[in-house]
Amino acid sequence: MENFALAGLAENLKPAMAEIVIRRIIQHQPDGFIFQTRSHRLPALKIVVDPRHPALYPSEARPPMESPATDFLMVLRKHLTSAELVSFNKPLSERVAEFVFKTAVPSRELETMSLVVELLPNAPNLILLDAERRVLASLLPVTPQHGISEYEAYLPPSAGARIDLERILTEDPPELEGYAHAEDPRAWLIANVAGTGPIFAGELVYRQKKSGRPISQEIRNLLTQVRATSHSAWIYSELPLTHILETNDLQRLGKAVVSPVQLESLERTHSSKSFGSILEAARFYFDEMESRKLLDQAKAPVLRDLREAAKRFADREKRLLKEQRKYEEAAGLHRTAQLLTSCGMDMEQHYASVTANDYFAEKPGTIEIALDPALSLRENIDRMFKRHAKAGRGKQMVAQQLAAVRNKREGLDAQVRRLQVVRDWDTWLAIADRLNKERVSAAPAAAERETDRRRLRSIRIDGREVFIGRNGRENDEVTFRIAGPDDFWLHVADYSGSHVVIRNPNRDKEPDPNILTKAAQLAAFYSQARNSSKVEVHYTRRKNIVKPKRAKPGMVRLLEFKSISVEPKNWLE
């Protein structure tokens, strides 16, 4: 809020400040205080010394968040609780307001105290003065621009040689003649007239060009308008204010202009929303700005964690895609190996390259195939077949991993989008409560499951992870802690043995026959029937298994199952 608007706000606050007594002082954020009073006309006054948007306005709204109390709050409460407001003053050319209180403290030096509110952009502050106007305490260190040392009498920041607005109200300063010769009249006003900001300087230039009157008269007319009793006020913004609030565009909201008068210079370039008074407009704007800024700060750590997690999955996806391309290139080795087997060359000889007939091509021809001369032709062919077989398995594994990674990344991206549009505290608190519960419950559980997974006996069969319990206790862990509802569970029929679990991340209806056979062979081997030639093994989904009450470790009941007969074999070796 620029100085002209602040002057209008201060003038309209004065009638409500008669016979105010401070009831309580609350620090509702690190740089914001609420002074609650015993007055019905002005129940509370809020002071926010945010460097970007310092403000003084009537309100007691505060976001539902805890803010640690500072030493300055304790000083304010000690001296100003039950204090009666004696006077309120705002110099016309300065963005400084001063409250003078009669305190309940019996000490003569502290019987009268002043609270100075400096609403200076980038350097706001709250300063408490004693009866002799010496600095008693301040929220932030007093800046060197004040030209005072510790325990010296307070002086406001110097305005330099600029023309004071109070002087313009009573006379036509000759220094204003420089305005007519200025190349940039707006910049000239900002640099030479105290208390003039860019918005109201632009308005003065617009009005002066339109009317042709002297600039001194336009300044007096505008000051008279802004200091009059407010019956209307405006908020000007680059886009409609409702749209800015709906999209939670804090950058554009921060550029909005609160004005006690209609700004003709902004009518064509800005959207506007009208209010009943400057007090109402200031309350609406600064409460919205404060609430949304603090909410954005509360969401920031969660959004940062989600974005970092999504980036990790995106990096993982890039690595998997690169690996997938490598396997796709190796897929052509099967055809090359077949061409080499029919090339007619000696299989035991070593060659740097071999020319073979390419009968896979559309037109008959020959192809030059580079080989490893350290190996025989047969060994080169065998290696190609093995690399092709490995590429086929690897391609399948990478495809499964890619699907899982993309699913997780998309879920995180969707969660980020949902959190970004949250703009009210009730929704955020509900989400934050759930997120905190998930972190508390899921994080230790995930770490514990990861520890268990590494400790338990396991093997990968064609890209699927298979777990094998060692005893009754581990069987329960494998079945009821490690296995998911759709994972496949195996156990030898009619004998004691290990519980075997096949991971099923894609929720396939039936396990792959090769994986099922090998997992069943493991279940048969790690059982009392390992010396049999053929063993029957039951298999089903984990969700079809229940644990009877008071059953011993490893004892379960199957609700439904199928069977397969296999020869016991230890694939772990």
530 phi, psi to nearest 5 deg: -65, -25
On whether residue 417 sits in a domain, the answer given is yes
Q: Is a pLDDT exceeding 50 seen at residue 199?
A: yes
User: Tell me, what CATH number does 322's domain have?
Assistant: 1.10.287
Interhelix angle 278-330/377-420, nearest 10 degrees: 170
On whether residue 93 sits in a domain, the answer given is yes
Q: Is a pLDDT exceeding 90 seen at residue 25?
A: yes
132 and 26 together in one domain: yes
Of 102, 114, 122, 11, which is closest to residue 56 (Cα–Cα)?
Answer: 11
Per-residue confidence (pLDDT) for residue 437, from 0 to 100: 57
Whats the size of the chain, residue-wise? 573
254 and 331 together in one domain: no
CA atoms of 501 and 482, how far apart (whole Å): 9
466 and 541 together in one domain: yes
* pLDDT (tens digit per residue) in 210-252: 999 999 999 999 999 999 998 999 999 999 999 999 888 899 9
Per-residue confidence (pLDDT) for residue 221, from 0 to 100: 95
CB–CB of 288/253 below 8 Å?
yes
On whether residue 305 sits in a domain, the answer given is yes
On whether residue 255 sits in a domain, the answer given is yes
User: Which of 295, 315, 344 is at the close of a domain?
Assistant: 295
552, HSE (Cβ side, Cα atoms, 13 Å): 3
Weakest mean pLDDT among 168-182, 281-295, 393-407, 547-561: 393-407
138 and 187 together in one domain: no
- Tell me the residue type at 570: N
Query: How many structural domains comprise the chain?
Result: 4
173 and 285 together in one domain: yes
On whether residue 355 sits in a domain, the answer given is yes
288 phi, psi to nearest 5 deg: -65, -45
303 and 290 together in one domain: no
Torsion sign, CA atoms 77, 81, 85, 86: negative
8 and 141 together in one domain: yes
Q: Is a pLDDT exceeding 90 seen at residue 10?
A: yes
User: Which of 264, 295, 326 is at the close of a domain?
Assistant: 295
Structure-token pair, residue 420: 């970004």
DSSP bridge partners of 521: none
* pLDDT (tens digit per residue) in 477-529: 999 888 988 999 999 998 999 999 999 988 888 999 999 999 999 999 999 99
- pTM tops 0.75: no
432 and 302 together in one domain: yes
* pLDDT (tens digit per residue) in 321-347: 888 777 777 767 777 787 888 888 888
239 and 279 together in one domain: yes
485 and 432 together in one domain: no
273 and 350 together in one domain: no
Residue 431 domain boundaries: 298-436
On whether residue 441 sits in a domain, the answer given is no
Mean pLDDT across 4-30: 92
On whether residue 202 sits in a domain, the answer given is yes
- Tell me the residue type at 349: Q
User: Tell me, what CATH number does 78's domain have?
Assistant: 2.30.310.10
- Tell me the residue type at 68: P
On whether residue 260 sits in a domain, the answer given is yes
* pLDDT (tens digit per residue) in 254-263: 999 999 999 9
472 and 529 together in one domain: yes
Of 460, 465, 569, 462, which is closest to residue 513 (Cα–Cα)?
Answer: 462
* pLDDT (tens digit per residue) in 435-480: 665 544 444 444 445 555 556 889 999 889 999 999 998 999 999 8
User: Which of 263, 295, 327 is at the close of a domain?
Assistant: 295
